[in-house]
Copies of this chain bind each other. A is one copy, B any other.
């Protein structure tokens, strides 16, 4: 668990896209952000107050979160200076970088000396159990996709936000590094050892109030041959009551797999539902979430209506329209 609130480290981001982790935190958990720390040449801006480490500390920040991708896969000397200074001033550090904080000797020595924590969210910090398949109290909804990187995290975060606004009890359950940094906790499922994947998802979504919803972040796709095993562990460990199908209508092949066509929404519905009913015979598909970023307003509207007619399910773009029809469907369950 990463202590909040955060100071967002944007470093020397060469463009806004490089700071997309910081953007995610700012968009979804603005209350977790007291300010941003930018170095000279930084081309990203979260519209948060620019703060020195001292100012952020005074404003209550507990953790400096690296919200930017590093260039060339190494932590530069200029970054290092800030990170060490932050440890000296009592900040924990959190990072989703491929190269780990814990592999930098100067950082581990400083963290030990100051008693601060280094959170590498790519690496599990828990010994997860093997899944036992026992039915848990509370309700769960999972986003599954026709492909990877198709909007499952965005859908889950929007659903969680809209459910809370509608007065439902809900928790976003992060299963990837960006989601973990946004919420401060979760399971980095792609880094968990095979035998413990489903158990990690059970651990992440424990017994809860009967009217509480876990909104579980999806990973991969049942139809993506590189990562499908991770997806199935989410379905079987999460034992969802409800599934949301995620899709992007202009994609020409599975991400990173040029020879592989995307499945239809119908194929995803049938496959995911049959597998989800192994641990939870009552599971239902309650709607479709479409990333229509590549379509204009009229095309997006037409596509969503066509999906609704075809599938007999509400279809939304959560970015354009929010997820109200999905929330209604969950409320009715």
Interface residues of A (CB under 8 A from B): 130-135, 189-195, 197-199, 222-223, 225-233, 236-237, 239, 254, 256-257, 259-260, 263, 271, 274-275, 278-279
Contacts and interface: CB of A to CB of B under 8 A. Distances in A.
A92 to B, nearest CB: 25
A193 B192 contact: yes
B228 A233 contact: yes
Given A132-B226, A222-B232, A229-B230, 8 more contacts: A189-B194, A191-B195, A192-B194, A194-B229, A199-B226, A225-B239, A232-B232, A271-B274
Q: Please tell me how many copies of the chain the complex holds.
A: 2
A228 B130 CA distance: 12
Given A225-B131, A226-B130, A229-B236, A190 B198 contact: no
B193 A278 contact: no
Nearest to A223: B278
A101 B283 CA distance: 45
Contacts of A263: 278
A232 B220 CA distance: 13
Contact of A133 (B134, B190, B192, B259): B259
Nearest to A230: B194
B194 A226 contact: no
Contact of A222 (B132, B256, B275): B275
